[in-house]
Structure 1
Protein backbone atom coordinates (compact mmCIF):
# COMPACT_ATOMS: atom_id res chain seq x y z
CA UNK A 1 0.00 0.00 0.00
CA UNK A 2 1.19 3.49 -0.89
CA UNK A 3 0.36 6.55 1.21
CA UNK A 4 -0.37 9.63 -0.90
CA UNK A 5 -0.71 13.19 0.33
CA UNK A 6 -2.86 15.35 -1.96
CA UNK A 7 -2.66 19.10 -1.46
CA UNK A 8 -4.58 21.87 -3.24
CA UNK A 9 -3.36 25.44 -2.88
CA UNK A 10 -5.79 27.44 -5.01
CA UNK A 11 -8.27 29.69 -3.16
CA UNK A 12 -10.74 29.18 -6.00
CA UNK A 13 -13.42 26.52 -5.95
CA UNK A 14 -15.01 24.90 -8.98
CA UNK A 15 -13.37 27.44 -11.30
CA UNK A 16 -9.90 26.27 -10.28
CA UNK A 17 -8.09 24.37 -13.02
CA UNK A 18 -5.34 23.16 -10.69
CA UNK A 19 -7.94 21.70 -8.34
CA UNK A 20 -9.81 20.00 -11.16
CA UNK A 21 -6.66 18.48 -12.63
CA UNK A 22 -5.22 17.32 -9.30
CA UNK A 23 -8.59 15.80 -8.45
CA UNK A 24 -8.60 13.99 -11.80
CA UNK A 25 -5.15 12.59 -11.12
CA UNK A 26 -6.04 11.35 -7.64
CA UNK A 27 -9.39 9.90 -8.76
CA UNK A 28 -7.73 8.05 -11.64
CA UNK A 29 -4.97 6.81 -9.37
CA UNK A 30 -7.46 5.58 -6.78
CA UNK A 31 -9.43 3.74 -9.45
CA UNK A 32 -6.26 1.96 -10.57
CA UNK A 33 -4.89 1.43 -7.04
CA UNK A 34 -7.85 1.11 -4.63
CA UNK A 35 -5.61 -0.29 -1.90
CA UNK A 36 -3.63 2.96 -1.56
CA UNK A 37 -4.41 5.51 1.15
CA UNK A 38 -4.92 9.16 0.23
CA UNK A 39 -4.79 12.03 2.72
CA UNK A 40 -6.08 15.41 1.58
CA UNK A 41 -5.30 18.93 2.73
CA UNK A 42 -6.86 22.08 1.26
CA UNK A 43 -4.51 24.95 2.04
CA UNK A 44 -6.18 27.26 -0.46
CA UNK A 45 -9.37 27.52 1.61
CA UNK A 46 -7.90 26.55 4.98
CA UNK A 47 -4.74 28.60 4.98
CA UNK A 48 -1.53 27.83 6.80
CA UNK A 49 -0.13 30.55 9.11
CA UNK A 50 3.04 32.30 8.05
CA UNK A 51 6.27 31.83 9.95
CA UNK A 52 6.65 34.43 12.72
CA UNK A 53 9.32 35.45 15.22
CA UNK A 54 8.29 32.86 17.82
CA UNK A 55 8.46 30.13 15.14
CA UNK A 56 12.00 31.13 14.20
CA UNK A 57 13.13 31.32 17.82
CA UNK A 58 11.70 27.87 18.48
CA UNK A 59 12.94 26.19 15.31
CA UNK A 60 16.52 27.34 15.87
CA UNK A 61 16.84 26.55 19.57
CA UNK A 62 17.13 23.22 21.46
CA UNK A 63 13.71 21.72 22.30
CA UNK A 64 14.69 21.33 25.96
CA UNK A 65 14.95 25.13 26.23
CA UNK A 66 11.50 25.81 24.85
CA UNK A 67 8.94 27.71 26.87
CA UNK A 68 5.26 26.77 26.43
CA UNK A 69 5.00 29.66 23.97
CA UNK A 70 7.87 28.36 21.83
CA UNK A 71 6.48 24.82 21.91
CA UNK A 72 3.12 26.13 20.72
CA UNK A 73 4.82 28.12 17.96
CA UNK A 74 5.86 24.88 16.25
CA UNK A 75 2.69 22.89 16.89
CA UNK A 76 1.24 23.40 13.41
CA UNK A 77 4.64 22.88 11.79
CA UNK A 78 5.05 19.58 13.65
CA UNK A 79 1.59 18.46 12.55
CA UNK A 80 2.27 19.32 8.92
CA UNK A 81 5.70 17.70 8.91
CA UNK A 82 4.42 14.51 10.54
CA UNK A 83 1.73 14.30 7.87
CA UNK A 84 4.25 15.08 5.14
CA UNK A 85 6.75 12.45 6.27
CA UNK A 86 4.03 9.79 6.62
CA UNK A 87 3.36 9.99 2.87
CA UNK A 88 5.27 8.05 0.23
CA UNK A 89 4.11 10.23 -2.65
CA UNK A 90 2.67 13.70 -3.14
CA UNK A 91 0.19 15.27 -5.52
CA UNK A 92 0.20 19.07 -5.48
CA UNK A 93 -2.26 21.32 -7.30
CA UNK A 94 -0.60 24.71 -7.71
CA UNK A 95 -1.78 27.74 -9.72
CA UNK A 96 0.75 30.26 -10.98
CA UNK A 97 0.48 33.69 -9.37
CA UNK A 98 2.77 36.44 -10.63
CA UNK A 99 5.13 33.92 -12.26
CA UNK A 100 5.48 31.84 -9.09
CA UNK A 101 3.42 30.00 -6.47
CA UNK A 102 0.57 31.49 -4.40
CA UNK A 103 1.35 32.65 -0.87
CA UNK A 104 -0.84 29.83 0.47
CA UNK A 105 1.65 27.26 -0.82
CA UNK A 106 4.69 29.32 0.21
CA UNK A 107 3.38 29.45 3.78
CA UNK A 108 3.04 25.65 3.72
CA UNK A 109 6.56 25.20 2.38
CA UNK A 110 7.99 27.51 5.04
CA UNK A 111 6.33 25.37 7.72
CA UNK A 112 7.68 22.03 6.47
CA UNK A 113 11.21 23.03 5.44
CA UNK A 114 12.77 22.88 8.88
CA UNK A 115 16.20 22.15 10.29
CA UNK A 116 16.48 18.71 11.94
CA UNK A 117 13.07 17.64 10.62
CA UNK A 118 13.29 17.76 6.83
CA UNK A 119 16.82 19.09 6.29
CA UNK A 120 20.06 18.66 8.24
CA UNK A 121 23.15 20.85 8.52
CA UNK A 122 26.32 18.79 8.27
CA UNK A 123 30.01 19.55 7.84
CA UNK A 124 29.65 19.30 4.07
CA UNK A 125 26.58 21.54 4.04
CA UNK A 126 22.84 20.85 3.88
CA UNK A 127 21.36 17.37 3.45
CA UNK A 128 17.74 16.66 2.69
CA UNK A 129 16.12 14.20 5.09
CA UNK A 130 13.04 13.36 2.99
CA UNK A 131 14.34 10.51 0.85
CA UNK A 132 12.75 7.87 -1.37
CA UNK A 133 9.64 9.95 -2.10
CA UNK A 134 7.95 10.94 -5.37
CA UNK A 135 5.92 14.01 -6.26
CA UNK A 136 3.57 15.09 -9.02
CA UNK A 137 3.06 18.84 -9.30
CA UNK A 138 0.14 19.97 -11.46
CA UNK A 139 0.26 23.66 -12.28
CA UNK A 140 -2.25 26.00 -13.91
CA UNK A 141 -0.97 29.09 -15.74
CA UNK A 142 -2.93 31.83 -17.45
CA UNK A 143 -0.24 32.45 -20.06
CA UNK A 144 2.06 30.26 -22.09
CA UNK A 145 5.25 29.49 -20.17
CA UNK A 146 6.13 26.33 -22.07
CA UNK A 147 9.69 25.58 -23.18
CA UNK A 148 9.16 27.07 -26.65
CA UNK A 149 7.40 30.22 -25.44
CA UNK A 150 9.19 33.59 -25.35
CA UNK A 151 7.88 33.89 -21.78
CA UNK A 152 9.58 30.75 -20.48
CA UNK A 153 12.15 32.92 -18.64
CA UNK A 154 9.29 34.29 -16.51
CA UNK A 155 8.51 30.84 -15.13
CA UNK A 156 9.90 30.98 -11.59
CA UNK A 157 7.32 28.44 -10.44
CA UNK A 158 8.75 25.14 -11.66
CA UNK A 159 12.41 26.02 -10.97
CA UNK A 160 11.58 27.14 -7.44
CA UNK A 161 9.55 24.03 -6.64
CA UNK A 162 12.24 21.73 -8.02
CA UNK A 163 14.83 23.56 -5.94
CA UNK A 164 12.98 23.68 -2.63
CA UNK A 165 11.75 20.08 -2.71
CA UNK A 166 15.16 18.93 -3.90
CA UNK A 167 16.64 20.81 -0.94
CA UNK A 168 14.76 18.53 1.47
CA UNK A 169 15.57 15.41 -0.56
CA UNK A 170 12.72 15.00 -3.05
CA UNK A 171 14.19 14.91 -6.55
CA UNK A 172 11.81 12.50 -8.28
CA UNK A 173 9.32 15.15 -9.38
CA UNK A 174 6.98 15.08 -12.37
CA UNK A 175 5.40 18.31 -13.60
CA UNK A 176 2.16 18.60 -15.54
CA UNK A 177 1.90 22.25 -16.55
CA UNK A 178 -1.39 23.47 -18.00
CA UNK A 179 -0.49 26.65 -19.88
CA UNK A 180 -2.52 29.26 -21.77
CA UNK A 181 -5.61 29.00 -19.57
CA UNK A 182 -6.78 32.60 -20.05
CA UNK A 183 -9.18 31.48 -22.73
CA UNK A 184 -9.78 30.46 -26.32
CA UNK A 185 -8.74 27.39 -28.27
CA UNK A 186 -5.33 27.35 -26.57
CA UNK A 187 -6.97 26.70 -23.19
CA UNK A 188 -9.02 23.80 -24.56
CA UNK A 189 -5.93 22.26 -26.12
CA UNK A 190 -3.79 22.77 -23.02
CA UNK A 191 -6.37 21.19 -20.71
CA UNK A 192 -6.70 18.26 -23.09
CA UNK A 193 -2.93 17.81 -23.12
CA UNK A 194 -2.78 17.99 -19.32
CA UNK A 195 -5.51 15.37 -18.98
CA UNK A 196 -3.66 13.10 -21.41
CA UNK A 197 -0.45 13.59 -19.44
CA UNK A 198 -2.27 12.65 -16.25
CA UNK A 199 -3.54 9.40 -17.72
CA UNK A 200 -0.11 8.60 -19.13
CA UNK A 201 1.61 9.26 -15.79
CA UNK A 202 -0.89 7.08 -13.92
CA UNK A 203 0.53 4.05 -15.75
CA UNK A 204 4.15 4.96 -14.97
CA UNK A 205 4.28 6.66 -11.57
Structure 2
Protein backbone atom coordinates (compact mmCIF):
# COMPACT_ATOMS: atom_id res chain seq x y z
CA UNK A 1 0.00 0.00 0.00
CA UNK A 2 1.46 3.33 -1.10
CA UNK A 3 0.11 6.55 0.42
CA UNK A 4 0.89 9.97 -1.08
CA UNK A 5 0.45 12.88 1.34
CA UNK A 6 0.04 16.21 -0.42
CA UNK A 7 0.64 19.23 1.84
CA UNK A 8 -0.51 22.66 0.67
CA UNK A 9 -0.29 24.76 3.84
CA UNK A 10 2.79 26.90 4.51
CA UNK A 11 2.15 26.91 8.27
CA UNK A 12 4.20 23.81 9.08
CA UNK A 13 3.60 22.39 12.55
CA UNK A 14 0.94 25.05 13.21
CA UNK A 15 -1.16 23.92 10.25
CA UNK A 16 -4.51 22.38 11.07
CA UNK A 17 -4.88 20.76 7.64
CA UNK A 18 -1.48 19.08 8.12
CA UNK A 19 -2.49 17.86 11.58
CA UNK A 20 -5.76 16.50 10.20
CA UNK A 21 -3.96 14.90 7.26
CA UNK A 22 -1.44 13.28 9.59
CA UNK A 23 -4.31 11.90 11.71
CA UNK A 24 -5.89 10.39 8.58
CA UNK A 25 -2.57 8.78 7.66
CA UNK A 26 -2.17 7.44 11.20
CA UNK A 27 -5.54 5.73 10.96
CA UNK A 28 -4.67 4.35 7.53
CA UNK A 29 -1.41 2.96 8.90
CA UNK A 30 -3.39 1.11 11.55
CA UNK A 31 -5.24 -0.62 8.72
CA UNK A 32 -2.15 -1.04 6.55
CA UNK A 33 0.86 -1.41 8.89
CA UNK A 34 3.28 -1.94 6.01
CA UNK A 35 2.11 1.10 4.07
CA UNK A 36 4.76 3.36 2.57
CA UNK A 37 4.05 7.09 2.95
CA UNK A 38 5.50 9.63 0.53
CA UNK A 39 5.13 13.28 1.55
CA UNK A 40 5.01 16.02 -1.07
CA UNK A 41 5.03 19.46 0.52
CA UNK A 42 3.93 21.87 -2.19
CA UNK A 43 5.09 24.87 -0.18
CA UNK A 44 8.72 23.74 -0.46
CA UNK A 45 9.89 24.17 -4.04
CA UNK A 46 6.34 24.99 -5.21
CA UNK A 47 5.17 24.13 -8.68
CA UNK A 48 5.43 27.05 -11.08
CA UNK A 49 2.24 28.60 -12.30
CA UNK A 50 1.59 27.60 -15.88
CA UNK A 51 3.35 29.71 -18.47
CA UNK A 52 3.65 29.47 -22.24
CA UNK A 53 6.63 27.12 -22.06
CA UNK A 54 4.70 24.62 -19.92
CA UNK A 55 1.68 24.62 -22.20
CA UNK A 56 3.89 24.24 -25.26
CA UNK A 57 5.54 21.22 -23.65
CA UNK A 58 2.17 19.68 -22.69
CA UNK A 59 0.87 19.88 -26.25
CA UNK A 60 4.05 18.86 -28.07
CA UNK A 61 4.55 15.11 -28.66
CA UNK A 62 7.30 13.73 -26.40
CA UNK A 63 9.42 12.67 -29.36
CA UNK A 64 9.55 16.32 -30.47
CA UNK A 65 10.49 17.78 -27.09
CA UNK A 66 13.35 20.24 -27.00
CA UNK A 67 15.58 20.59 -23.94
CA UNK A 68 13.41 23.55 -22.93
CA UNK A 69 10.27 21.39 -23.18
CA UNK A 70 11.89 18.64 -21.10
CA UNK A 71 12.84 21.08 -18.36
CA UNK A 72 9.38 22.68 -18.36
CA UNK A 73 7.49 19.40 -18.16
CA UNK A 74 9.66 17.74 -15.53
CA UNK A 75 7.54 18.89 -12.55
CA UNK A 76 4.38 17.63 -14.21
CA UNK A 77 5.82 14.23 -15.13
CA UNK A 78 7.21 13.69 -11.64
CA UNK A 79 3.93 14.67 -9.96
CA UNK A 80 1.88 12.39 -12.20
CA UNK A 81 4.28 9.49 -11.61
CA UNK A 82 3.85 9.94 -7.84
CA UNK A 83 0.09 9.63 -8.26
CA UNK A 84 0.43 6.60 -10.56
CA UNK A 85 2.52 4.86 -7.88
CA UNK A 86 0.08 5.71 -5.08
CA UNK A 87 -2.90 3.63 -4.00
CA UNK A 88 -4.22 6.34 -1.67
CA UNK A 89 -3.86 10.11 -1.73
CA UNK A 90 -4.24 12.24 1.38
CA UNK A 91 -4.54 15.87 0.31
CA UNK A 92 -4.38 18.69 2.83
CA UNK A 93 -6.64 21.53 1.71
CA UNK A 94 -6.87 24.55 3.97
CA UNK A 95 -9.51 27.01 2.81
CA UNK A 96 -8.05 30.33 1.69
CA UNK A 97 -10.59 32.96 0.71
CA UNK A 98 -13.24 30.28 0.10
CA UNK A 99 -11.01 28.20 -2.21
CA UNK A 100 -7.85 26.11 -2.28
CA UNK A 101 -4.35 27.52 -1.87
CA UNK A 102 -2.49 28.70 -4.95
CA UNK A 103 0.21 26.03 -4.52
CA UNK A 104 -2.44 23.29 -4.60
CA UNK A 105 -4.02 24.84 -7.69
CA UNK A 106 -0.61 24.96 -9.40
CA UNK A 107 -0.09 21.26 -8.61
CA UNK A 108 -3.50 20.43 -10.09
CA UNK A 109 -2.67 22.43 -13.22
CA UNK A 110 0.43 20.25 -13.67
CA UNK A 111 -1.35 16.92 -13.15
CA UNK A 112 -4.50 17.54 -15.22
CA UNK A 113 -3.12 16.82 -18.68
CA UNK A 114 -5.09 15.79 -21.74
CA UNK A 115 -3.91 12.47 -23.11
CA UNK A 116 -2.02 11.67 -19.90
CA UNK A 117 -4.40 11.83 -16.92
CA UNK A 118 -7.63 12.28 -18.90
CA UNK A 119 -8.76 11.96 -22.47
CA UNK A 120 -11.66 13.05 -24.58
CA UNK A 121 -13.83 10.32 -26.07
CA UNK A 122 -16.99 10.18 -28.14
CA UNK A 123 -18.86 9.82 -24.84
CA UNK A 124 -17.13 12.75 -23.17
CA UNK A 125 -14.01 13.06 -21.02
CA UNK A 126 -12.56 9.98 -19.32
CA UNK A 127 -10.22 10.08 -16.34
CA UNK A 128 -7.19 7.81 -16.63
CA UNK A 129 -5.96 7.68 -13.00
CA UNK A 130 -8.34 4.97 -11.85
CA UNK A 131 -8.55 2.55 -8.91
CA UNK A 132 -7.30 5.05 -6.35
CA UNK A 133 -8.84 6.56 -3.24
CA UNK A 134 -8.40 10.11 -2.01
CA UNK A 135 -8.93 11.55 1.45
CA UNK A 136 -9.15 15.33 1.64
CA UNK A 137 -8.20 17.04 4.92
CA UNK A 138 -10.09 20.34 4.86
CA UNK A 139 -9.45 23.00 7.51
CA UNK A 140 -11.62 26.12 7.61
CA UNK A 141 -12.00 29.22 9.75
CA UNK A 142 -15.79 29.13 9.49
CA UNK A 143 -18.40 26.40 9.27
CA UNK A 144 -19.77 25.98 5.77
CA UNK A 145 -23.09 24.25 6.29
CA UNK A 146 -26.62 25.20 5.28
CA UNK A 147 -26.76 28.44 3.31
CA UNK A 148 -23.00 28.91 3.63
CA UNK A 149 -22.28 25.67 1.78
CA UNK A 150 -22.65 27.56 -1.50
CA UNK A 151 -19.49 29.56 -0.79
CA UNK A 152 -17.33 26.52 -0.02
CA UNK A 153 -15.39 26.22 -3.28
CA UNK A 154 -12.87 23.73 -1.85
CA UNK A 155 -15.05 20.65 -1.59
CA UNK A 156 -16.95 20.75 -4.92
CA UNK A 157 -13.87 21.81 -6.89
CA UNK A 158 -11.62 19.04 -5.57
CA UNK A 159 -14.37 16.43 -5.96
CA UNK A 160 -14.88 17.46 -9.58
CA UNK A 161 -11.27 17.87 -10.67
CA UNK A 162 -10.14 14.61 -9.04
CA UNK A 163 -13.07 12.80 -10.63
CA UNK A 164 -12.17 14.36 -13.96
CA UNK A 165 -8.77 12.65 -13.88
CA UNK A 166 -10.27 9.35 -12.72
CA UNK A 167 -10.11 9.52 -8.92
CA UNK A 168 -13.79 9.18 -8.10
CA UNK A 169 -13.55 7.58 -4.65
CA UNK A 170 -13.05 10.78 -2.64
CA UNK A 171 -13.73 11.20 1.09
CA UNK A 172 -13.77 14.64 2.71
CA UNK A 173 -12.78 15.01 6.35
CA UNK A 174 -13.23 18.49 7.78
CA UNK A 175 -12.02 20.42 10.79
CA UNK A 176 -14.06 23.63 10.92
CA UNK A 177 -14.44 26.78 12.96
CA UNK A 178 -10.83 27.73 13.71
CA UNK A 179 -11.69 31.43 13.44
CA UNK A 180 -14.80 31.18 15.62
CA UNK A 181 -14.24 31.79 19.33
CA UNK A 182 -16.90 29.31 20.37
CA UNK A 183 -15.44 26.48 18.27
CA UNK A 184 -11.72 27.04 17.79
CA UNK A 185 -10.58 25.28 20.97
CA UNK A 186 -12.18 22.00 19.96
CA UNK A 187 -12.20 22.30 16.14
CA UNK A 188 -9.19 20.08 15.52
CA UNK A 189 -10.13 17.49 18.14
CA UNK A 190 -13.65 17.28 16.69
CA UNK A 191 -12.33 17.00 13.15
CA UNK A 192 -9.95 14.19 14.10
CA UNK A 193 -12.60 12.32 16.09
CA UNK A 194 -14.95 12.45 13.09
CA UNK A 195 -12.46 11.06 10.55
CA UNK A 196 -14.09 8.68 8.10
CA UNK A 197 -12.02 6.13 6.19
Which category describes the TM-score, using the shorter chain as reference length?
Answer: over 0.9
Task: Work out the number of aligned pairs and report it.
Answer: 197
2: CA distance, partners of 1:177 / 1:46: 27
Instruction: Give deviations 1:13-55, integer Å, cap 9, x for gaps.
Output: 2221101111122123224422111111111233111111111
Give the match's secondary structure for 2:76: helix
2: CA distance, partners of 1:24 / 1:185: 23
Residue 47 in structure 1 maps to residue 46 in structure 2: yes
Which range moved further: 96-105 or 177-186?
Answer: 177-186
Shift of 1:94: 0.9
Q: What does residue 9 of structure 1 align with?
A: 8
Give the match's secondary structure for 1:34: coil
Pairing of 1:25-64 with structure 2 (within 5 A): 25-64=24-63
Query: TM-score, length-normalised on structure 2?
Result: 0.94
Give the match's secondary structure for 2:184: helix
Q: What does residue 122 of structure 1 align with?
A: 121
Residue 107 in structure 1 maps to residue 109 in structure 2: no
Give the match's secondary structure for 1:71: helix
Where in structure 1 are there 5+ consecutive unaligned residues? none
Where in structure 2 are there 5+ consecutive unaligned residues? none
Runs of at least 4 residues off by over 6 Å: none
Shift of 1:62: 1.5
1: CA distance, partners of 2:25 / 2:160: 24
Q: What does residue 155 of structure 2 align with?
A: 158
